[in-house]
Amino acid sequence: MSKHEPSWKMGGSKMTSPTSFMSKLMEYKELSPSLSALNQAILATKGGCIIGLYLHAVTETKLVVDTSRGEKLRINFDVIFPAIPCSLLSLDAMDISGEQHLDIRHDITKKRIDSHGNVIEVRQDGIGAPKIDKPLQRHGGRLEHNETYCGSCFGAEMSDEDCCNTCEEVREAYRRKGWGMTNPDLIDQCKREGFVQKIKDEEGEGCNIYGSLEVNKVAGNFHFVPGKSFFQSNVHVHDLLALQMDSYNISHRINRLAFGEYFPGIVNPLDGVQWVQGTPSGAYQYFIKVVPTIYKDIRGHTIQSNQFSVTEHFKGSAMGHVQSLPGVFFYYDLSPIKVTFKEEHVSFLHFLTNICAIVGGIFTVAGIVDSFIYHGQRALKKKIEIGKFS
């Protein structure tokens, strides 16, 4: 061996130069700041997630027994009947307690629509009706200029003083008696008002009926039917007009049906549902299970509402069976279980616990990795010093 040759170049030796040793050592030392930066990035990411969860509300769900009594149930609806004129369509509601609301009109709006679904301007009643100068009095004679008009109820008077001055009042008197008015042409008031003519003029039209009704919070039903409701021998029936009795089409579209107010996250399964009649007339029935629901937002505002599930069934009409009269029926029942949704923030103590857990976990792992690198560096340095690193 030449005395001028460095020992690391001895024959057959695999040793590397000292410069190479130091460069490898420096690579290990440079890992420490990189590791620190990685720790900071992980800490910032995890911390941001925890802060986001703390600032945003979470929803807690609870199930409790519904102990409320004597409350009312508000039903909001918007239904289109493309083949039933508004003059024929009526809304009834009844429940198992015996309360009945027939031909409901308050808080209800009807819009006449054409076959394309466009809204038709409402024309005044009586336009196009046969002109009768002097209406028929209750006693049978025509109204004279010095008399007060008191129309006949055609046998449906409850007392001698009763008067029916409009077609609607006659129909109402018939309803109280439990009679059906199947031929309005025989009623003077209906002839003067052009009742039948109006129905004929509206042939081919549809009706958009919407609004709300308030019922007892017990099981019951509400239904949309052609004709006016009345009771006959304790049976709920309708005075279906003979002129359209064979042509009622109960095709419908439910734009909206809700049992109570809107709250975030609610899904009303009947919204947008459409059914087209392709069979003989009958009753389309929806069986609804209503679940009372309370929603409390983060500000403490409480919304009393309801969710519901539904099944449906079509029942074809049978001649002579009043139970199968055409219409759309909604039968609802209430669940004894109430659902409570409550928005709330994560507690500050829980937030601090999560932050401490994340910081502690990251620094623990970082310490283990740093210790591994440190001891690796020391071992490498010793090998370099004794000339055993290759």
Mean pLDDT (10-residue bins), the chain, 390 residues: 48 48 50 64 72 72 90 95 88 90 86 88 41 49 58 82 83 76 75 74 86 94 80 49 61 96 93 89 92 91 95 76 74 96 77 76 75 74 68
Answer yes or no: do 314 and 353 share one domain: no
pLDDT of residue 329: 95
End of a domain among 171, 204, 237? Answer: 204
Together in a domain, 286 and 145: no
pLDDT reported for residue 163: 87
If one counts the domains in the chain, the total is 3
CATH number for the domain harbouring residue 76? 2.60.470
Do 255 and 227 share a domain, yes or no? yes
Q: Are residues 333 and 299 in the same domain?
A: yes
Same-domain pairing of 97 and 177: no
Q: Measuring CA to CA, how many Å separate 138 from each of 162, 168, 170, 341? A: 9, 16, 12, 62
pLDDT at 387: 67
Residues 282 and 232 in one domain: yes
| Amino acid 41: pLDDT | 76
Q: Which domain holds residue 212?
A: 59-120+207-344
Boundary of a domain, candidates 204, 232, 247: 204
Residues 29 and 64 reside in one and the same domain: no
Residue 79 lies in a domain: yes
Q: What is the pLDDT of residue 132?
A: 42
Same domain, 92 and 234: yes
Q: State the pairing for strand pair 327-334/273-275.
A: unpaired
Q: Which residues contact 313 (CB under 8 A, 6 or more apart)?
A: 284, 285, 287
What distance in Å separates the CA atoms of residue 330 and residue 76, rounded to the nearest whole number? 13
DSSP H helical ranges for the chain: 18-55, 167-177, 188-193, 195-201, 348-386
- φ and ψ at residue 220, rounded to 5 degrees: -175, -160
SS3 204: coil
2 within a domain of the structure (yes/no): no
Q: Are residues 103 and 235 in the same domain?
A: yes
Give the predicted TM-score (pTM) of the model: 0.65
Name residue, tokens 């009643």: 125
Residue 375 within any structural domain of the chain: yes
Question: Is 179 found in the same domain as 165?
Answer: yes
What pLDDT sits at residue 217?
94
Question: What is the model's pLDDT at position 197?
Answer: 72
Question: How far, in whole angstroms, is CA 345 from its chain's centroid?
Answer: 27
Residue 10 in domain: no
Domain boundary among 148, 176, 204: 204
Tell me if 74 is assigned to some domain: yes
- Shared domain for 306 and 212, answered yes or no, is yes
Instruction: Give the chain's length.
Output: 390
Q: Are residues 95 and 111 in the same domain?
A: yes
Please indicate, yes or no, if residue 133 is contained in any of the structural domains: yes
Q: Does residue 142 form part of some domain?
A: yes
Evaluate whether residue 179 is within a structural domain: yes
